């Protein structure tokens, strides 16, 4: 808001799944303190993954879309592989977070870099993390940056935490603790009052932004480890994709202890979810190269589009809601970003690059700049027609 096998053996933090972009059995909601159950035997990320059972690929009509690119600017400087990216709502800052943690007795410290837009001049680095920065999000007023991290202890997952930073001073405002396992993803409500985070430990937590207090906990089991999360623009729905091949949607105002909607998905990693600007449609992506459109109220599939990349797929809407950007890639293969017309679901533009493993994308609020991250590189693309 994907990865693996060969990747896991060579890149430590790539062993944890993902930008772009939640009690027993299933589905409880509580206001208690916390939450993720520690796992006595975490999965072996070094072992090759069993390939998911994928449907035959449909015709790759996206390949025939109009080409755009090359990138306007290519940014370097991260200490390790980029794992998260965000553009501030005022369009003035780009943030990217990198790998970190301890693996095979070697320390890999993650950091956050900030660049001024549109020039792409590096402004600052934040090194308050010793661990992988898996997710980033700016507050709606662009004054704060929120980051999600993972900690390792002798190669095993230790804990996850969320930090809020003051963008001007670069000081840490507060740390949110409650997840007892790595935090894969986070999002901030449009009114800036709430943060929602999703963890590998099978928990989604809703936080009060101003105080850092836990408001609600959406808790699952080990097999329901969450990999992506989103909160609807109207603030009334939370959606998360999990490792048991399901999408779950909760009504935030409701006290019901189960998801309002539960959707079965094809086998594979769930890398991104995004709500449409009117909060009525949920878009999901995973490792099969497909983007699926769901009716939020009924949980029924509306449509499907093919991006044509398999390892990771990430999503972002343009602010006006007219375009949906989807992209991803695999190690050693071509990376790809496709811009769809949201109303028709038709691919309109495409950009590609070599060695395409990609970990996230973001669109500027004026719909003019697209940022993609792959390896230690951030590419800034000019969106076609500025839309």
Range 180-201 average pLDDT: 93
Structure confidence at residue 29 (pLDDT): 33
Structure confidence at residue 361 (pLDDT): 95
More confident residue, 12 or 269: 269
CA distance 238 to 227: 13
| Average pLDDT of the chain, as a whole number | 81
- pLDDT above 90 covers a percentage of the chain that reads 52
Question: Torsion over CA of 382, 305, 231 and 271, rounded to 10 degrees?
Answer: -90
Range 150-159 average pLDDT: 59
Assess whether pLDDT exceeds 60 at residue 236.
yes
Range 36-43 average pLDDT: 43
**151 contact partners, CB below 8 Å, separation of at least 6:** 101, 130, 131, 157, 158, 159, 160, 161, 182
Structure confidence at residue 273 (pLDDT): 96
Range 10-16 average pLDDT: 37
Instruction: Give 330-356 pLDDT, tens digit per residue.
Output: 666 678 899 999 999 999 999 988 766
Exposure of 47 in the CB half-sphere (CA atoms within 13 A): 6
Q: Where are the alpha helices (DSSP H) in the chain?
A: 6-10
Structure confidence at residue 108 (pLDDT): 57
* Confidence band, pLDDT 50/70/90 cuts, at residue 329: confident
Instruction: Give 353-386 pLDDT, tens digit per residue.
Output: 876 678 899 999 999 999 999 888 899 999 997 4
The length of the chain in residues reads 387
Instruction: Give 242-287 pLDDT, tens digit per residue.
Output: 888 899 999 999 887 689 999 988 877 788 999 999 999 999 998 8
Range 45-64 average pLDDT: 62
Delineate the domains of the chain, giving CATH numbers in brackets.
6-32+59-386 (2.130.10.10)
Range 108-129 average pLDDT: 87
**291 contact partners, CB below 8 Å, separation of at least 6:** 283, 284, 285, 304, 305, 306, 307, 313, 315, 324, 326, 340
Backbone angle region of 5, left / alpha / beta, with phi > 0 → left and psi within -120 to 50 → alpha? left
How many helices (H) and strands (E) are present in the chain, helices listed first? 1, 32
CA distance 206 to 119: 35
Instruction: Give 287-320 pLDDT, tens digit per residue.
Output: 888 899 999 999 999 999 988 866 678 999 999 9
Q: What is the pTM of this model?
A: 0.82
* Confidence band, pLDDT 50/70/90 cuts, at residue 55: low
Structure confidence at residue 110 (pLDDT): 75
Instruction: Give the 3-state secondary structure percentages of the chain, helix then strand then coil, rounded to 5.
Output: 5, 50, 50
Assess whether pLDDT exceeds 60 at residue 134.
yes
CA distance 334 to 384: 20
Q: Are 87 and 370 in contact (CB under 8 A)?
A: no
- pLDDT above 70 covers a percentage of the chain that reads 76
More confident residue, 92 or 221: 92
More confident residue, 11 or 140: 140
Assess whether pLDDT exceeds 50 at residue 144.
yes
Range 185-195 average pLDDT: 97
Assess whether pLDDT exceeds 50 at residue 43.
no
């Amino acid at each position: 808001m994907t990865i693996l096998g060969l990747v896991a053996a060579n890149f430590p933090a790539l062993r944890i799944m993902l930008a772009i972009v939640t009690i027993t059995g299933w589905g409880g909601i509580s206001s208690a303190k916390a939450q993720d159950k520690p796992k006595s035997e975490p999965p072996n990320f070094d072992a090759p993954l069993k390939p998911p059972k994928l449907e035959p690929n449909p015709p790759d009509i996206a390949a025939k879309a109009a080409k755009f690119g090359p990138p306007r600017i290519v940014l370097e400087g991260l200490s390790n592989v980029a794992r998260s990216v965000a553009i501030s709502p005022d369009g003035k800052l780009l943030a990217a977070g990198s790998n970190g943690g301890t693996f095979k007795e070697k320390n890999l410290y993650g950091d956050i870099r900030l660049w001024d837009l549109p020039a792409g001049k590096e402004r600052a680095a934040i090194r308050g993390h010793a661990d992988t920065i898996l997710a980033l999000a700016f507050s709606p007023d662009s004054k704060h940056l929120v980051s999600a991290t993972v900690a390792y202890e002798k190669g095993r997952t230790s804990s996850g935490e969320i930090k809020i930073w003051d963008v001007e001073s670069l000081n840490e405002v507060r740390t949110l603790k409650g997840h007892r396992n790595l935090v894969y993803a986070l999002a901030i409500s449009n009114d800036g009052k709430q943060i929602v985070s999703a963890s590998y430990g099978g928990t989604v937590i809703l936080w009060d932004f101003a105080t850092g207090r836990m408001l609600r906990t959406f808790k699952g089991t080990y097999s329901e480890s969450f990999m992506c999360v989103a909160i609807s623009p109207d603030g009334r729905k939370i959606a998360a994709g999990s490792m048991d091949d399901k999408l779950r949607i909760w009504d935030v105002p409701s006290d019901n202890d189960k998801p309002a909607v539960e959707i079965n998905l094809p086998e594979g990693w769930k890398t991104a979810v995004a709500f449409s600007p009117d909060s009525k449609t949920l878009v999901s992506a995973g490792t099969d190269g497909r983007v699926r459109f769901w009716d939020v109220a009924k949980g029924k599939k509306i449509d499907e589009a093919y991006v044509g990349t398999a390892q990771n797929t990430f999503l972002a809407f343009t602010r006006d809601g007219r375009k949906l950007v989807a992209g991803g890639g695999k190690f050693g293969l071509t990376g790809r970003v496709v811009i769809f017309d949201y109303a028709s679901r038709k691919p309109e533009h495409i950009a590609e690059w070599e060695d395409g493993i990609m970990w996230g994308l973001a669109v500027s609020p004026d719909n003019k700049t697209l940022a993609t991250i792959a390896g230690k590189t951030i590419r800034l693309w000019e969106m076609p027609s500025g839309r």
